[in-house]
Structure 1
Amino acid sequence: MKIYQLFRKLIHSYFYEIRLQNKLLLAFLSMSLLLLGIFSSVIISHVSSFAENQLLQSATETFQQTTASLENTFYSYEQISTGLANSYLFDDLMKQDMNQYTPGEITVIRQNFERSVFASVQNHVNSTSYEVDVKIFFNDDFHYFNNRTRYFSLENYLSAPWASSITQQYSKSRRGFYILPEDLLTEVEPGNFSMARVVVDKKYYPHILALLRIDMPRKYLDQMITSTVFDNTLSAVINQDLNVLACSNTTLNSLLPDLISNYDLWKLPTKTWNEITLGHEKYLLRIVTIPHYKLMHFSLVPQKSLYSDLYRIRSFLLLSVFLTLLLCIPLASLLSHSLVIRLQQVVNVMQQVKTGNPVPFQENIPHGSDEIGNLISSYNHMVEQMQLLMQQEYEYGTEIKNAELKALQAQVNPHFLYNTLDMIYWFAKENMVNEIETSVRSLSTFYRIGLSSGKEIITLRDELSQSKAYMAIWNLRLQDAIIYECKVDDTLLDCLIIKTTLQPIIENAVSHGIREKDIPTGRISINVWADFDDLLITIEDDGVGIDSETLTKLNTDVLIRESVGHGYGVHNVQSRLQLYYGSAYGLKFSSTIGKGTCVTIRIPKKTTE
């Protein structure tokens, strides 16, 4: 269950959390690794199989050539010995009465015999680099050549293992040529083997006249079977009695007893490589019999020697796959980057939509004609439409706000004008000339700036002048119950502001702040200062204040939008400021019950439109 959950987590992470470039990189590498794995597996399998077959075929050919060479060697000596046995030299020699000859004449006869008998043997022997000794064991009837160096009495050796074996086999099979292993040659120096020929009476074959024996070093055969394709290979020649005639690798002689005791070699298949196990090692065994001489030639190859070449080939292929995979990494990274870079640019540009400032792709960025290029073209078309709609919305919104402002002015101004004119009337009745002058001048300034020849943007100087005139009229009505203060740096007076921004806020401060107090007197302070590239204006009063719930609604524009009358004017100010300057600008309310309210206006600091 945990493994399943982990697997699902990894899948979810891959599809929904990892960056697209990393996904593509992983996908490319995974596909490359999969394809390389399949390709390399197939190639390694086929190459290994082919190489194994080739190596075994080469080993088989070498093995067969060695066997043929062995057989030819034995056959050549057999032919030589057969030629000698059939040459009647022995018959003629044995028929002569040596008593008729002097010792000198016997010496001449022996020399002639040796010249005739050993000439062909010696010529063949001289073609090798090994010392070959030829011995003749005469029947005891012929004792003149019994010098115990080259000529011997057969009767003295009939009890020897080799002679006994030959006479017994000859009596049964009448086979004339024998190959004798080292084990039977007790009187011969170690490290030799022999080939023997039975010389018989032509008139009576069961009668043995002599035994011709050719002795030579065993290393002659050992070297002959040493040729092999693989390292640590053991080749050997044995007879039907499992006596070893030759062995190619003396260091591996210890394997022969185990091999001979554990496997019936004469019954194993001879046309294929047999898999066997000796100790804890696995071997391949190839057997060829030489029936004419009742010999067996076999070759024992350790599988690790065979597979060492295959391992080298496999290691080379795996290294090639690894290097190819390393090459695939930068290629996959480059390919994934080329696919993702434009998508990343699309994402970066689209992020700006969240800020309310959608921008199209730049012309210097290649678009292309693929799916990503189509996406970029569609995005650019969408941005153009959005910008057009936003411009239209701005224009419509401006027109609506201007209409709302004019409606507000049409709603407020008659009431304000009526109250002001009524106040002037009473001043006139009381012959209050100075108050009449102040009220008329303030009323004129208020409406002159409010009209502003139809302009919506005026200087801060004019906006503050209109607010001062508005407060002057209020104080005439309230008999100077409100102290009006304004602090502003002269360098900021030329900054631009939407007209009739301060008046609705001041009206709320008077009507709902100061006049709600038990003693309707108070103070209204206006402060203006620069905050980097912005202009901050605070209108602060010491009225009754606003409770926290209402304050929260004011700051979220909820109460402003739901209000009517005076609240409608504040909402209009907030809407016009944000529509004209953006959502980062507008009104901010702060208040304390019983101490007053402060409204902060943030607008860009500009001196030109």
Structure 2
Amino acid sequence: MKRIRRFFVNLKLRNKLLLAFSVFIILPIVTLTLLSTYLTKYIIEKNAMFSATQSFNQVSDFVSYRIDNIIRATNLIANDQLVHSVAERDPNNYPLEEQFENLQKIRHFLTSYENEIDIVTVRLFLDDQMIHSDEDGDILGLESAKDFPWYQSLSGSQVMLYPSMGSDRNGDQTLSAVRAITSFDNYQDIKGYVMAEFPEKIFRDMISKANSIGGSLTYICNDQYELISSTDDGNQDEFFLTPSQMELVSGYSDWAFLKVGNEDVFAKVKAIPSTNWSIVTIIPESGIFRDTHLIQNTMVLFMLFLIGIAYLGAVFVTLSLTKRIDLLASKMNAAQQGNFSKAIVYSNAKDEIGILIQNFNYMIDRIQTLMAEEKIASQRLRSAELMALQSQINPHFLYNTLDMINWMSYEEDKGEEIRTTLRSLSRFYKLSLNKGRTLVSLQDELKHVSLYIQIQNMRLQNSVHLDIRVPEHLQQCGILKITLQPIVENAVLHGIMEKDDPHGTININAKLSGEDLLITVADDGVGIPPDILDTLLNEEDTSRQHGYGLTNINERIMLYFGEKYGLSIRSQLAKGTIVTIRIPFHKFLDEQ
């Protein structure tokens, strides 16, 4: 559960919204479609089976009624007084004229039943010794009855129904209703037979009305499972129930569901009263749900259409919401990286996201304002520190120089040197002040360094040689005031003067690197130990550094020109140190 919750929490908002749309829109659509399909299927099945039951019951009743009429007609013929008397007469005591007269009466009597109640022909089977036997096919001898399938099983006064061995005048198959003519005194004493033939087509037409569902089969069979009539000769073999299936279905009062062949079907069996026949209806399940499948497919297509529309709408709404949020997030990342110039988001929307964007823009604008103010404050602080350091350095340097002039005044012939020193000292401080401006030209900065070395050499007996090789066109570049002098002072005091032989050279060079100017100050002093070199530009306490703090110079350059500018230092023990100054190259404009 925790994993699922963590997974959901970590999902992007876009995916969360799409998931929510899927759960609360698509899921109900699918559920409603499935429920509607199930209810439709249930209602169609219920109505179809109700209609099939009604049709089956009506047809079975109608078939029973028609068969009852035929059986009743057969019984009336068998029990007719004239027919019965002729059947019981002894042929040896039966005058020929009387036989012939009775024959004619019987024929008229039989003809009255034909074509009135679906009977095609009526035949009598009487004693073979009578002269009228086998005369024209409607009165036959008892011997000929042995050729019919019902001869062995017929007994008493029961009427049996059988498939006929012949056909009517139209060529249609006929069925037979057969009854024995028995003695009034002994029902086991058979005197003859009555066989009424009727068309199978009348039952086929009737049972076809039981097929209210497409693909259904209705047929009539006897107790020997012989087919009497069927609505479809094409699939009767496929759907014909086996004896065990017939017995199973007969036990159901309603429709039974079973598999016949490879098809799931509904089956119903009903015995026809007073006969050994049964009427059977087989309804394939696919026939019932043929219309259901059409409705189901239509509903599924409509469901997919709705899901597609809902999904497209969800995507559109989701993108419209998350697009601005993603943009805001990207701008926040830009602000996190310190790129505030690309952090502004443009939006005129007045919704919650629009208000959030407006507040974010206000925050970014406020941060930029505070950063600008902080930068100005830092620059002012560094300038104040510079002025404070200058106020510390200059008196110290001035004291040493004046002390040197004082000692020189006690010596003879030092007047010119004293005057030179005073002029150099005056020019040095004039360049240091430089009318209070922050930027000076590189040319003035080099003069400032030269004057510093010149004054120091008067104290150090020319121990330091300064070699400046900067092209004139580069000397017009603007540089922060008092940048080179502290670096040169460190090179003199902590590089050259700490050598065993306190003599050395300081080289100042400059060159262009793209749009930047690289100024190098190299000395051949004692060098800087690696442990000190690694922290030299990171020390916050400038009092621990050699001379004027290089950290201060580096930070002033970075604050004024940008983060990519500043100092870099390389040093080797006993070989010297190289300090590289990177500043943007632009000509200094001297504003009077």
Which of 308, 321, 324 is the equivalent residue of 1:339? 321
Which of 550, 556, 559 is the equivalent residue of 1:570? 550
Deviation at 1:303, TM superposition (A): 4.3
Alignment of 1:180-579 (within 5 A): 180-182=161-163, 192=173, 194-196=175-177, 198=179, 211-217=194-200, 221=203, 225=207, 228=211, 233-240=216-223, 242-248=225-231, 259-262=242-245, 264-265=247-248, 267-270=250-253, 272-277=254-259, 282-291=264-273, 293=275, 295-303=277-285, 306=288, 314=296, 317-318=299-300, 320-322=302-304, 324-327=306-309, 329-359=311-341, 362=344, 364-370=346-352, 372-427=353-408, 429-432=411-414, 435-555=417-537, 557=538, 559-561=539-541, 563-564=543-544, 566-567=546-547, 569-579=549-559
Distance 1:545 1:530 in 2: 26
Secondary structure at the residue paired with 1:554?
coil
Number of aligned residue pairs: give it: 578
Secondary structure at the residue paired with 1:389?
helix
Which of 575, 581, 584 is the equivalent residue of 1:595? 575
Deviations 1:325-367 (A, max 9, x none): 5555544443333222212211221223234342486574344
- Of the structure 1 ranges 189-198 and 391-400, higher mean CA displacement relative to structure 2 is found in 189-198
Q: Taking every aligned residue pair, what percent have the same amino acid on both sides?
A: 29
Deviation at 1:411, TM superposition (A): 0.5
Deviations 1:9-43 (A, max 9, x none): x8756644x65545544554566554454344433
1:157, 1:163 within 8 Å by CA — same for their partners in 2? yes
Distance 2:21 2:107 in 1: 91
Residue identity in the other structure for 2:359: S
2:219, 2:230 within 8 Å by CA — same for their partners in 1? yes
Q: Are 2:49 and 1:42 aligned?
A: no
Which of 563, 567, 571 is the equivalent residue of 1:583? 563
Secondary structure at the residue paired with 1:118?
coil
Distance 2:206 2:420 in 1: 140
Distance 1:267 1:108 in 2: 47
Alignment CA distance shift 1:196-1:107 (3 Å): closer
Alignment CA distance shift 1:73-1:26 (3 Å): same
Alignment match, 1:137: 124
RMSD: 4.4
Alignment CA distance shift 1:564-1:39 (3 Å): same
Deviation at 1:198, TM superposition (A): 4.8
1:179, 1:194 within 8 Å by CA — same for their partners in 2? no
Deviation at 1:286, TM superposition (A): 2.1
2:78, 2:194 within 8 Å by CA — same for their partners in 1? no
2:99, 2:132 within 8 Å by CA — same for their partners in 1? no
Alignment CA distance shift 1:91-1:433 (3 Å): same
Deviation at 1:385, TM superposition (A): 2.8
1:235, 1:248 within 8 Å by CA — same for their partners in 2? yes
1:523, 1:542 within 8 Å by CA — same for their partners in 2? yes
Larger fraction in helix: 1
Alignment CA distance shift 1:163-1:373 (3 Å): same
Alignment match, 2:150: 162
Distance 1:400 1:236 in 2: 113
Secondary structure at the residue paired with 1:452?
helix
Alignment CA distance shift 1:528-1:215 (3 Å): same
Deviation at 1:590, TM superposition (A): 1.6
TM-score under structure 2 normalisation? 0.81
Distance 2:349 2:342 in 1: 12
Alignment match, 1:128: none
Which consecutive residues of structure 1, in runs of 5 or more, have no partner in the other structure? 126-132, 171-177
Alignment CA distance shift 1:460-1:147 (3 Å): farther
1:288, 1:297 within 8 Å by CA — same for their partners in 2? yes
Alignment of 1:5-154 (within 5 A): 8=3, 12=6, 15-16=9-10, 19-22=12-15, 24-25=17-18, 28-29=21-22, 34-68=27-61, 70-71=63-64, 73-75=66-68, 77=70, 99-100=96-97, 116-120=112-116, 124=118, 133-140=120-127, 144=132, 146-147=134-135, 149-154=137-142
1:143, 1:153 within 8 Å by CA — same for their partners in 2? no
Alignment CA distance shift 1:364-1:511 (3 Å): same
Residue identity in the other structure for 2:140: F
2:347, 2:354 within 8 Å by CA — same for their partners in 1? no
Deviation at 1:410, TM superposition (A): 0.7
Alignment CA distance shift 1:88-1:583 (3 Å): farther
Distance 1:433 1:88 in 2: 187
Distance 2:386 2:154 in 1: 140
1:526, 1:539 within 8 Å by CA — same for their partners in 2? yes
- Of the structure 1 ranges 501-510 and 428-437, higher mean CA displacement relative to structure 2 is found in 428-437
- Of the structure 1 ranges 239-248 and 470-479, higher mean CA displacement relative to structure 2 is found in 239-248
Residue identity in the other structure for 2:252: P
Distance 1:256 1:381 in 2: 83
1:285, 1:301 within 8 Å by CA — same for their partners in 2? yes
- Of the structure 1 ranges 282-291 and 201-210, higher mean CA displacement relative to structure 2 is found in 201-210
Residue identity in the other structure for 2:218: S
Distance 1:526 1:20 in 2: 60
